[in-house]
Every structure is written in C-alpha cells, then in structure tokens.
A and B are shown apart, each in its own frame.
Chain A
C-alpha cells in the first residue's frame, strides 16, 4: 500500500493547478483533491447530475437522493443545480468543464491514457471516464509514479486498453510534474529528494526538461498536509 501521506501530497499538488473554474474529480487520489481546493473558487461537477458539490454531510444529514458519482452522500452549495445525465455529459463533451483530475493505470508520452481496463480481464465497467477525458478542457492525471509492483506507469506507449488518445495535459506524481506540450512530454517539476537519474529510471517514457523546470521541497509541503 502506498503511504496515505504520499497520496495526500499528490492530491495537494494537483489542487495547486486548480485556482478557479469548474472541475470534475475522479475516484481515488483525485477525490482527495477537494480537501485542498481554494474555498468558494472552484465549483465541483458530478456526472450524476450536480454542479456545485459540497462537502460530505454529517451522518444524520445524509440524503439518499443526494450522492456523488462515487455513490457517497454529499451536500450542495448555495449556487448548486441539478440536471439529468444527458445535460451533465453535455457539460463534459461540449468543452464546458475547465478540468478533470483523474487517476490512470498508464499514461503515454503523447497524452494517451489507459484508466479503465486491464488486458485479459473482463471489460465490464467504463462509467463516465471516456466522456470526461474526451471532453474536459484540461485533463490532469494524479497518480503514483509506478505501480504497486514497481512498474512504470508513464510510458512511451500504453499497453492497456485506452480511455482516450492524446488528451492528457498534466501528469502529477509524488516525485514529479510533467506537461504534454505540442505532443511532447516535458518535465516541469521534480522534488529535491529524487535525482534526475533515479527519476529517469522509474519513468518508462522519454521526456525533455522544460524551460520553466523547477525543483521543489516536498517535505515542506507534506508537513502542512493533515
């Protein structure tokens, strides 16, 4: 298991990319991003028909008719609205959603993403993942750098079934931040605890170092996370 504080760091770092607008958060690490968003400035969208998702309710205030896409009870905000699934997905495909933060099984250096199926296993669940990635203006992948078995997730080419082609904009891991610019994978940030050599070793894809590259001190950020 990955240390919870590592997951929290990834979520916190992803939240730094989101200062305003409407965002849809996927399941897993992306769900934790909500804890670090600037209050009142980012509106959360849920694909089952809510714009303006609020925090989790107290147990006695749970409403079975008010859940998020992960089927967990939620609350609403003063500016919230409800709508049917078609309108909800129109918000995605129509390019109205500023960003989505999602997890991934694999990401390719050209922005392809695989996040919904494993080869050889039954392919029985896709949900809204493909629409979200196809439609959001900006696709931010928040994931651990390697699999629990230590295999690279950022690759020259995905080997798992694709969710979408060439849609990923930013990849955030516990070690680094990459951006895909003009179809090329660029390293824009790494933490000071990892060397360039080690980062290259655990990253399957080839990348260039961006002009605006920076090194950050992760410990400092992690100390402030609950």
Chain B
C-alpha cells in the first residue's frame, strides 16, 4: 500500500512575494478587498500596490474604506475611481471626495453585498432579497412579490482581482481565518478571477485539519506571507 503521507502535493497555487503578487493586477482593475473596520484587511498587499505599482483607476468592492488602512491610503493617492460597499461616512475624506465628484460610490446593504459576493463566486448572476424593499436603495431595481412580501432583484458581484486576508495557508493553498477577521474574505476569494491572499503563517500540507478549512485551495491563486496582524 502507498503511504499517502509521503506523497508530495502540488497544486496550482503560487507562493510569491507581495511585489510579485500585485504585479499580476491589471490597470483600472475591478478589485475586491476584504476587511471590516480595521480587521481582516490585506494591509501588506495594499502597501505593495501603493509602493511598487503605478496602477490606478480602481473600482474597489469593499465594505468600507477605513481611515488609517492602506485601502484609505490608496484612495488618498487618488487611485480609486469608484467604490462599491456599505458604509463610507466614517471617512471625512471619502465624503469630501464624493461631494467633489472625485469618487463614484455605489451603496449596498451589507447583507446584499455579502450575498452578492457569495453568489458571484457560485455562478448565480442575481437573487431576490427582502432587504431594501420600499426604500430608496431599491429605486430603479426590479422587485417581485413572493408569498405576499416584496423582494428586490440584486445582481451578484464578480471582479478581476480579490485581495484578501487569512490567518494560515497550507502549502496547497487551503485557508483558515482568525476570529472576526474572516468577514468578507472567504466570499471574495470565490468571486474573483485572481485571488491573492495575505496570510500570517504558511504551514505544511496536513497541518490544517480538513474539518477546519474554510476556503479550499480551489478558490486561491496566490499566497503571500505577511507580517503579524497590522494593528496587533
């Protein structure tokens, strides 16, 4: 019998430096960026985008643009053309840029954003949700009544690139996350053509319990070893 423990496992997931990884991003990319507040943001990858590339004209899909994060720095550099997310009022600079027509904003309810990401990565182009029915966020959207309740038709989201943050990857590219830093990251991993992951730690294949893997490697293209969490 073969000893499976001695097999050398090789997947298509690449392990690169941050600079090499972000060189794969096309210009004017539609790009997803994980994180909620300051938690679960791929800070090192964003830093590499800012420092080592001339990319601009981004359409960023992210819950918000948190002040102090490298996503906010990317925005302050005038490199974000449009933002799709749920909450921008926490940054005065974003609000100011919106008023001065320097950034376009598309606002979605947070549950609609998260489901649009999940379904975008699942091959389902649109879905009906009760959220926002009868409100101005449903203006110009189709709606339909099911079982006596109104539901709004929302389109799923996909992107050319996703920059996400995970806790650990194994050398096959399987991912686990840490506490509330998971948030939108596993959903974005599914929904982009190229998914680049920043992790705190890379471990040997077999070190992660198959029962605990949250993002199987099939959704991952590139893994980059980051530092410790930026704010901790």
Contacts and interface: CB of A to CB of B under 8 A. Distances in A.
A131 B116 CA distance: 13
Contact of A84 (B108, B183, B232): B183
Interface of A: 46-50, 63-68, 71, 76, 82-86, 88-90, 92-93, 117, 122-131, 134-135, 161-165
A90 B230 CA distance: 30
A127 B87 contact: yes
Interface in B125-149: 129-137
B39 interface: yes
A126 B134 contact: no
Contacts of A64: 38-39, 229-232
A156 B95 CA distance: 32
A124 B89 contact: yes
A208 to B, nearest CB: 25
Interface string B90-106: 10001100110000010
B82 to A, nearest CB: 13
B135 A130 contact: yes
B114 interface: yes
Given A125-B86, A126-B107, A127-B110, A93 B36 contact: no
Given A85-B111, A126-B110, A129-B109, 14 more contacts: A64-B38, A65-B181, A67-B37, A84-B114, A84-B214, A92-B111, A93-B111, A117-B136, A126-B87, A128-B86, A128-B110, A130-B109, A130-B131, A164-B134
B184 A84 contact: yes
A48 B136 contact: no
A85 B134 contact: no
B180 A67 contact: yes
A162 B135 CA distance: 5
Contacts, number: 149
Interface centre among B87, B105, B114, B185 (most CB of A within 10 A): B114
B112 interface: yes
Closest 10 A/B residue pairs (Cβ) = A89-B111, A131-B111, A125-B89, A85-B114, A64-B232, A165-B134, A71-B37, A128-B110, A130-B109, A64-B231
Contact of A161 (B36, B115, B136, B214): B136
A84 B185 contact: yes
Nearest to A62: B232
A92 B115 CA distance: 12
B110 A131 contact: yes
B132 to A, nearest CB: 5
A123 B109 CA distance: 12
A121 B94 CA distance: 14
A86 B88 contact: no
